[in-house]
Structure 1
Amino acid sequence: MAKTLFDKVWDAHVVTEIPGGNQVLYIDRHLIHEVTSPQAFNGLRRRGLPLLRKDRIVATADHNVPTIDQHLPIREPLGAKQVQMLTDNCKEFDVDLYGLGHPYQGIVHVIGPELGITRPGVTMVCGDSHTSTHGAFGAVAFGIGTSQVEQVMATQCLLLTKPKKMRINVEGDLARGVTAKDLILYVISQLGTGGGTGYFVEYAGSAVRALSMEGRMTVCNMSIEMGARGGLIAPDQTTFDYLAGREFSPRGQDWEAAVAYWKTLTTDADAHFDVEHTYRAEDITPMVTYGTNPGMGMGVKESIPVSSDIHGDASIQKAMKYMDLEAGKPLEQMPIDYVFIGSCTNSRIEDLRAVVGLIGDRKVADSVTAIVVPGSQQVSKQAIAEGLDKKLIAAGFQFREAGCSACLGMNEDKVPAGKYCVSTSNRNFEGRQGPGARTILASPLTAAAAAITGRVTDVRELLIEHV
């Protein structure tokens, strides 16, 4: 029987079938952080249960950590408490912890791939919705709730219903200035935030295959923003080259055996998908969001829609009120206040290189506060080795320490109420970056262009100046 990539990985991990359609799925890798793990550890204590496979768990501190002076005690009370609880729990249960100060510390969805913990063909979970990031390697990876975090700790399994299957093909070549972030924002704008509900998505097509691993991670990261359970991309030579030599990647004969298996992880030619969509790469331009969910996106030169079959007119009106924008008007040239380059979506070394490449000798506009937050200590170290930090600082950016930062209004890096922030993160919900903050999602290139001009800008115009 022909199988999709998703079928091959999922079915290989089914422990048993449960009457009524559910399945018990074995989990290979479990990533945890300081926000969604304390309750799970407490649940184990209440039940007197040990960790079943502590060797399958990796912990880090990322969500509620400061990005300035990480060597000092955390000033924010909740963040300090959560990080201390993670430290204490990992010590008590003997779990590997990459906490503040550790050379492997960083955003959980950045460190997994860069350390070689993320691999093709595995099942991965984390108490974080953007676990779908790891699907870029051909893994079945998805976010889980805190009660499920406890289940995995105790049993290394989850009771689940197998999702339906969707394939999204993007064919052709992305134009200059159009990135993986623009690709996924475009797809979500076409399908809406509920278009993937109930599905696991495989991304395919020539435009997807041409992406770097960093770009593929960006695409899979935002699968959840269209309601999908997760997203994945078939592993290929790009995948193998990325993983070769990583800290925890296989070595020697184990590597050869692993690659031989990974090469089998493709969708069979006659495999069935429940739904399939195809888009043309040449239709995609630099994207920005105008509303309060990631599906409210448009090309930077377009005008905000007056009505929408996908979102509904009431949702558009509500979003316009919160964003203090007017439907029918463009966003291009609108003044902005903040720029945030970071998050598990766009904080890797490739993202920082792209920003520095665009900036050149330009400076951040006087009216803009712009921060760059590397996704991990390793990204930061590499950026410093390449001199990217000095170039960013010289241009007027703040170069911070690793963490989730201004992606979410949980730590100290909040955007003030009423201010507009062009952000490379994944969500633009009301208050996501701080109470009353107004978020415009965009690619690192578009965000850097906004930082330079002080306005929402078509980055292609700045690229022309480089020619």
Structure 2
Amino acid sequence: MPSTLARKIWREHTVRTSDSGEDLLYVDLQLLHEVNTPQAFDRLRAAGRTVRRPDLTVGTEDHNTPTVDIRRRIADPAGRRQSELMRANCAEFGIPLHRLGDPGQGIVHVIAPEQGLIRPGTTVVCCDSHTTTLGAFGALAFGIGASQVEHVLATQTLPMRPLKDLSVTVGGTLPPGVTAKDLVLALISRIGTSGGQGHAVEYRGTAVEALSMEARMTLCNMSVEAGSRAGLVAPDATTFRYLRGRPGVPTGADWDEEVAHWSSLRTDDGAVFDKRVSLDGGMLSPYVSWGTNPAQSAPLDSRVPSPDDFATAEERAAAERALAYMGLAPGVPMRDIGVDMVFLGSCTNGRIEDLRAAADVLKGRRVTDGIHMVIVPGSAAVRRQAVDEGLDAVFAEAGADFRAGAGCSMCAALNEDRLRPGQRAASTNNRNYEGRQGKGSRTHIVSPSVAAATAVAGRLAGPADL
């Protein structure tokens, strides 16, 4: 029978199916970071188990890492302890680890692709919900919990119930200035934060095919914000160009053989999706969030909505709570909303293309007085490349704070980078929940170019507004 791409990968990795309908999946790669893994290693020891395939496991330090001075001791005792345990556990079980200061260190979802660890048609798990990022390569990638981390460490398998299939087709061509970030915010504002629940989302259509690999990673990254377990894009020539020459990627005849296999990883004609969504990419514009979840987003050229604009009592109540928390009044133009800080970074938008987009806007301009713009590269490699390209000089001349360390930074607010109560930020991260960037913080999710324009204007703005 015709099959979707996600179903093909799932079927190829199914070791067995239980009487209850749960499948046991083989895992090709497990990624680890310091926050959610100590319990898994403790359980391994308590059960007298070892790590079955340390060669298919890679760790990094990213959530708690300081970004101002990478030699600095982690300030938070709990965060410091997590990093200490990560180092001890990886050393004990023979797992490769990218520690703070290592050339390969960075956000787990950034370093894995740049180091050639993600291949089309594979299964990838990590103790982090934004593992969906890696589906951009045509992989089946999803976040798991601590008990599941232990199971994979011990067996290299994971019991899961099959996912449903959701097709998101984006036709046409994205207009100039519209990015993958705007596309995914538009999608979530339409289908809601539970629209993809229980599904693997396959992004399709001409607008998706035209995206770079880094843009596809941004798109798949926020699949989880729509409630889905995975998001993926079928591999194509763009995927192969990105992968070729990266460490660990096959060469010569082995490369040709891999590409031939990867090229077959597509949804069959006539395959049935459980749910379908279509968007006209040509009708999209830059989006910003106004509320306290990513679905509460709207075009930059619109106004803050009123609770009365929503159809159900639940939506109206959610809008009232969000407006109260965000300190916004209905009817205010989005472009009239001033900010205190701008954050560029995270696993959503901390890659070199994101930094280039911001630098294009900032070049020859200055961050407005009273605004603190913080730029945190997604990896040590991204930072080195930014310096090689002279982006650091552009940021310095503009008055932006380009950090020395790579990590999650203000996205997770688990280190010293956070907002104070009541402060408002335009941020390129993925979540705008209450307190996400610090207690009482107010977050507007934006694209890198909108972030940079906002830093110059002092209020939510796009490059065309400058």
Equivalent pair of 1:409/1:435 in contact (CA under 8 Å)? no
Looking at structure 2, the residues matched to 171 and 93 of structure 1 have their Cα atoms a distance apart, in angstroms, of 48
Other structure's SS at 2:334 match? coil
- Shift in Å, 1:329: 2.4
Looking at structure 1, the residues matched to 74 and 315 of structure 2 have their Cα atoms a distance apart, in angstroms, of 43
Q: Percent identity?
A: 49
- Shift in Å, 1:198: 1.2
1:152-163 paired onto structure 2 within 5 Å: 152-163=152-163
* Residue 444 of structure 1 pairs with residue 448 of structure 2: yes
Equivalent pair of 1:418/1:437 in contact (CA under 8 Å)? yes
Equivalent pair of 1:116/1:247 in contact (CA under 8 Å)? yes
Give the equivalent residue in structure 2 for 1:409. 413
Give the equivalent residue in structure 1 for 2:111. 111
- Shift in Å, 1:362: 0.2
Give the equivalent residue in structure 1 for 2:345. 342
Give the equivalent residue in structure 2 for 1:26. 26
Other structure's SS at 1:344 match? helix
- 1:314-363 per-position Cα deviation (integer Å, ceiling 9, x unaligned): 00000011101112322212211000000000000001111111112100
- Shift in Å, 1:278: 0.7
Looking at structure 1, the residues matched to 428 and 32 of structure 2 have their Cα atoms a distance apart, in angstroms, of 23
Q: 2:402 aligns with which of 389, 399, 403?
A: 399
Other structure's SS at 2:431 match? coil
Give the equivalent residue in structure 1 for 2:429. 425
Equivalent pair of 2:170/2:279 in contact (CA under 8 Å)? yes
Looking at structure 2, the residues matched to 327 and 139 of structure 1 have their Cα atoms a distance apart, in angstroms, of 42
Other structure's SS at 2:396 match? helix
Gaps of 5+ in 1: 463-467
Looking at structure 2, the residues matched to 56 and 136 of structure 1 have their Cα atoms a distance apart, in angstroms, of 20
Normalising by structure 2, we get a TM-score of 0.98
Q: Which amino acid aligns with 1:333?
A: D
Q: 2:367 aligns with which of 364, 368, 373?
A: 364
Other structure's SS at 1:30 match? strand
Give the equivalent residue in structure 2 for 1:14. 14
- 1:147-193 per-position Cα deviation (integer Å, ceiling 9, x unaligned): 11111001111111011001000111111111110010000011110
- Shift in Å, 1:146: 0.7
- Shift in Å, 1:6: 0.6
Equivalent pair of 2:75/2:415 in contact (CA under 8 Å)? no
- 1:1-27 per-position Cα deviation (integer Å, ceiling 9, x unaligned): 111111111110000011121110111
- 1:25-57 per-position Cα deviation (integer Å, ceiling 9, x unaligned): 111000000001111111101101000111100
Give the equivalent residue in structure 1 for 2:93. 93
Give the equivalent residue in structure 2 for 1:383. 386
* Residue 201 of structure 1 pairs with residue 201 of structure 2: yes
Looking at structure 2, the residues matched to 250 and 125 of structure 1 have their Cα atoms a distance apart, in angstroms, of 22
* Residue 211 of structure 1 pairs with residue 214 of structure 2: no
Looking at structure 2, the residues matched to 460 and 177 of structure 1 have their Cα atoms a distance apart, in angstroms, of 8
Q: Which amino acid aligns with 1:202?
A: E
1:8-407 paired onto structure 2 within 5 Å: 8-306=8-306, 307-309=309-311, 312-400=315-403, 401-407=405-411
- Shift in Å, 1:394: 1.4
Equivalent pair of 1:364/1:451 in contact (CA under 8 Å)? yes
Other structure's SS at 2:141 match? strand
Equivalent pair of 2:75/2:416 in contact (CA under 8 Å)? no
Count of residue pairs the alignment pairs up: 462
TM superposition outliers: structure 1 runs of 4+ over 6 Å: none
Moved more, 255-264 or 73-82: 73-82
- 1:234-275 per-position Cα deviation (integer Å, ceiling 9, x unaligned): 000000000000112122222111111100001111111011
Equivalent pair of 2:64/2:74 in contact (CA under 8 Å)? no
Equivalent pair of 1:165/1:274 in contact (CA under 8 Å)? yes
Gaps of 5+ in 2: none
Equivalent pair of 2:342/2:427 in contact (CA under 8 Å)? yes
- Shift in Å, 1:435: 0.3
Looking at structure 2, the residues matched to 214 and 407 of structure 1 have their Cα atoms a distance apart, in angstroms, of 18
Equivalent pair of 1:216/1:233 in contact (CA under 8 Å)? yes
Looking at structure 2, the residues matched to 44 and 345 of structure 1 have their Cα atoms a distance apart, in angstroms, of 32
Looking at structure 2, the residues matched to 444 and 216 of structure 1 have their Cα atoms a distance apart, in angstroms, of 15
- 1:115-152 per-position Cα deviation (integer Å, ceiling 9, x unaligned): 00011000000000000000000000000011111110
Looking at structure 1, the residues matched to 221 and 272 of structure 2 have their Cα atoms a distance apart, in angstroms, of 24
Other structure's SS at 1:248 match? coil
Looking at structure 1, the residues matched to 311 and 98 of structure 2 have their Cα atoms a distance apart, in angstroms, of 46
Looking at structure 2, the residues matched to 457 and 72 of structure 1 have their Cα atoms a distance apart, in angstroms, of 35
Moved more, 284-293 or 71-80: 71-80
- Shift in Å, 1:72: 3.0
Other structure's SS at 1:45 match? helix
Equivalent pair of 1:409/1:431 in contact (CA under 8 Å)? no
- Shift in Å, 1:64: 1.0
Looking at structure 2, the residues matched to 331 and 221 of structure 1 have their Cα atoms a distance apart, in angstroms, of 25
Moved more, 252-261 or 170-179: 252-261
Moved more, 388-397 or 74-83: 74-83
Give the equivalent residue in structure 1 for 2:460. 456
Give the equivalent residue in structure 2 for 1:465. none
Other structure's SS at 2:348 match? coil
Looking at structure 2, the residues matched to 459 and 161 of structure 1 have their Cα atoms a distance apart, in angstroms, of 45
